[in-house]
Chain A
Amino acid sequence: MLDNNTVAVPRLAATHLSKWYGHVGALREVSVEFWPGLTGIVGDNGAGKSTLLKIFSGFEVPDEGEVLLDGHPVAFHTARAARTVGIESLYQSLALVNTLSVADNVFLGRELYRRILGMRVVDRRAMRKDADDALKLLRISMPPSRVGVKQLSGGQRQAVALARAMYFGARVVLLDEPTASLGPRETAAFLRIIRDTADHGETVVVVGHNLPQMLELADHLLVMRAGRIVAAFSPKETSLRELTDFMVGSA
């Protein structure tokens, strides 16, 4: 999909994914590839965007089909398992513990250690330093990582989750409506961060409702409708009008 592509296989791919909720087909035989860069997925409510993302992030298991990471089939039933293979999903409220510090959140479940008298103890200083460094890379205004997450703004919280993903070398970052709860300034700042992340060669997948925003942000746009991917565009060769037509099925 990218012009100067030197990698033979997509970072993340799916073949013939189907997911049914009772008689409702949320996903129908979806095959898709995600390459380094930023892919946006748009579609009406119930089009299957979130279901697709949930499967990639381990929250849902597909009824049929396969997920491939770097060309190899992967199967996971938990978000933890998806994280282990390098697929990080940023869900707004789920991911952070309000009562803990930024550093504790970045390293939650994956703490850094040092040895004292032969005993492994959590290295709080190293965690704070690394968390500060990881957040600095995002070039967003942040308090030091020893501050509690509950004191952060919505955009800063998202940045913490993203820094966590980057620090642990995520292969793919999935975001579902990442700016839905952010104000205009924070939205702009956070979009800039994920754009930067994609420019660094990460594979970023964003599900969004805001079509003008997605047109500006994405390298590639996928349109979903009724559980299928009905169109794929480069933002430069499409328009708001065309996207909307595909979304509602009048194209």
Chain B
Amino acid sequence: MTRVSGEKEAAALAQPTGQEADSPAAAEAELQQISGDSRALSLLRDASLLPVLVALIVFGALISPYFLQGDNFWGIGQYASSIALITAGEALVLMIGSMDLSLGGTYGFAPMLATWLVAPASAFGVGLNLNPYAGLIVLLLAGAAVGFVNGLLIVKAHLSAFIVTLGMLIGLAGVQDGLVDGQTISALPTCFSYIGGNFWGPVPVSLVATAVVFVVVGLFLRYRRAGRAIYAVGGSAEAARAAGINVDRVKIGVYMAAGVLAAMGGFVEMGRDGAITASQGYSEGVIFIAFASAVIGGVSLLGGKGNMVGVAVGVLVLAVVQNILDLKNVNVFWENAVYGLVILIALVIARVIGDRETQT
């Protein structure tokens, strides 16, 4: 490696221009400006919608004296927790450049299955009276299993992610309905309602639990090889493959992780309600909120882009909007119309801000 070619003439010939730098000055300056950003700024860029969130909070405080009170504020956090968990799952799938509609099904199906196995027959359970902690394991396994089947069908059988997860969404909702004949199980064991329903002082347990999950997922994406691989696979599966990344395994793993996160979200929502209904998840259209939150939070539908700080802000923006609509008693029949309009506006703002960004 230390040998030097003796053919200096050839080397000289090979430098026809003798130029050192080759970049136009303008591009150079632009790049220098980008690189001049501090670390703190880069973290802020991750949450490009933070100003929008702050503006919404100010707006909320102005239109309702109740908005800023502790009860309401922590209530938003509790409401947002379950949405945040399923959105985190959707965000991971979007990051690999795919989509998963079935998370909305898992969000209802997994807690229903677990509760059905645990609850007594008199409360619409199957009558097995499974240990609640075993039920928790069933819940997480159900999420992982749905994701695994999705992953196999999409990655190995090369089926369309949209169609596979649409079918799965409807099928899961059907099973969820069928298990209890459309009934509601409200006899939840304590450990099923604790995270979703309890408070530590004023702080909802669900918010703390969700924050922990977000920190773990965020650090995983940033500092673990498999996390970095998710961005690479979403950015360019071919380049990732050429770099030795097992693309199929990363993708299937992400579908499974997303299923688990959706199951956890449904579990938290069940605890908040104190019951699991046949309509939780699919019928309430939670998947659309998850999609919108993720995209507003800066996750690209094209893959390779997004992070948990952005996702958290995206979820909170929509949760605050929902809360304001509730507080203002917007005509319930028109509420979705307003909500949809706000989502579109938020998307436009996110796009405008997001286009100026650099990645990770």
Q: Which residues of A contact B (CB under 8 A)?
A: 2-4, 6-7, 36-38, 79-80, 83, 94-101, 104, 108-111, 121-122, 124, 139-141, 143-144, 146-148, 150-151, 153, 155-156, 185-186, 188-189, 191-192, 195, 198-202, 216-219, 235-236
| 8 tightest A-B CB contacts, nearest first | A109-B243, A99-B304, A99-B235, A189-B22, A143-B31, A97-B235, A121-B223, A195-B14
Which B residues lie within 8 Å of A80 (CB)?
A: 241-244
Q: Is B23 an interface residue (CB 8 A)?
A: yes
In the complex formed, the residue of B with least CB distance to A183 is B22
Partner of A147 from the list B21, B31, B241 (CB cut-off 8 Å) is: B31
A146 to B31, CA, bound (A): 11
Contact B21 A141 (CB under 8 A): yes
Which B residues lie within 8 Å of A38 (CB)?
A: 10
Q: Is B13 an interface residue (CB 8 A)?
A: yes
Contact A111 B225 (CB under 8 A): yes
Contact B23 A201 (CB under 8 A): no
Contact B19 A143 (CB under 8 A): no
Contact B236 A98 (CB under 8 A): yes
Contact B34 A143 (CB under 8 A): yes
A100-B13 contact, Cβ under 8 Å, with A6-B3, A37-B5: no
Which A residues lie within 8 Å of B15 (CB)?
A: 188, 191-192, 195
In the complex formed, the residue of A with least CB distance to B238 is A94
Which B residues lie within 8 Å of A101 (CB)?
A: 358-360
Which A residues lie within 8 Å of B31 (CB)?
A: 143, 147, 151
Q: Is B239 an interface residue (CB 8 A)?
A: yes
Which A residues lie within 8 Å of B236 (CB)?
A: 96-99
In the complex formed, the residue of A with least CB distance to B239 is A97
Q: Is B65 an interface residue (CB 8 A)?
A: no
Contact A104 B21 (CB under 8 A): no
Q: Is B201 an interface residue (CB 8 A)?
A: no
A122-B3 contact, Cβ under 8 Å, with A79-B242, A96-B236, A216-B13: no
Count: A-B pairs, CB below 8 Å:
158
Partner of B20 from the list A104, A139, A151 (CB cut-off 8 Å) is: A139
B349 to chain A, nearest CB (A): 21
Contact A104 B228 (CB under 8 A): yes
A193 to chain B, nearest CB (A): 10
Q: Is B312 an interface residue (CB 8 A)?
A: no
How many residues in B have their beta carbons less than 8 Å from beta carbons of A? 54
Contact B359 A99 (CB under 8 A): yes
B8 to chain A, nearest CB (A): 9
A151 to B23, CA, bound (A): 12
B215 to chain A, nearest CB (A): 14
A83 to B242, CA, bound (A): 9
* Interface contacts beyond A2-B6, A99-B231, A104-B360: sample of 12 additional A-B pairs, CB < 8 Å, sorted by A: A97-B232, A97-B239, A99-B234, A109-B243, A110-B243, A124-B222, A147-B34, A192-B19, A199-B4, A201-B5, A202-B1, A218-B10
A130 to chain B, nearest CB (A): 15
A147-B304 contact, Cβ under 8 Å, with A100-B235, A121-B223, A140-B22: no
In the complex formed, the residue of A with least CB distance to B7 is A219
Q: Which residues of B contact A (CB under 8 A)?
A: 1-7, 9-11, 13-17, 19-23, 27-28, 31-32, 34-35, 219, 222-225, 227-229, 231-232, 234-236, 238-245, 300, 303-305, 358-360
30 residue pairs bridging A and B, Cβ less than 8 Å apart: A4-B3, A4-B6, A6-B3, A80-B243, A83-B244, A95-B239, A97-B231, A98-B236, A99-B231, A100-B232, A100-B235, A101-B359, A104-B360, A108-B243, A109-B244, A110-B243, A111-B228, A122-B223, A122-B224, A124-B223, A143-B34, A147-B358, A150-B359, A189-B19, A189-B22, A192-B14, A192-B19, A199-B5, A217-B13, A236-B10
B251 to chain A, nearest CB (A): 15
Which A residues lie within 8 Å of B34 (CB)?
A: 143, 147, 151
Which B residues lie within 8 Å of A122 (CB)?
A: 222-225, 227-228
Partner of B28 from the list A83, A111, A141, A150 (CB cut-off 8 Å) is: A141
A36 to chain B, nearest CB (A): 6
A191 to B13, CA, bound (A): 11
| Most interface-central of A96, A146, A201 (chain B CB within 10 A) | A146
A188-B4 contact, Cβ under 8 Å, with A97-B240, A122-B222, A148-B359: no
A111 to B231, CA, bound (A): 14
In the complex formed, the residue of B with least CB distance to A191 is B14
A97 to B234, CA, bound (A): 9
A98 to chain B, nearest CB (A): 6
A108-B20 contact, Cβ under 8 Å, with A98-B304, A147-B34, A153-B27: no
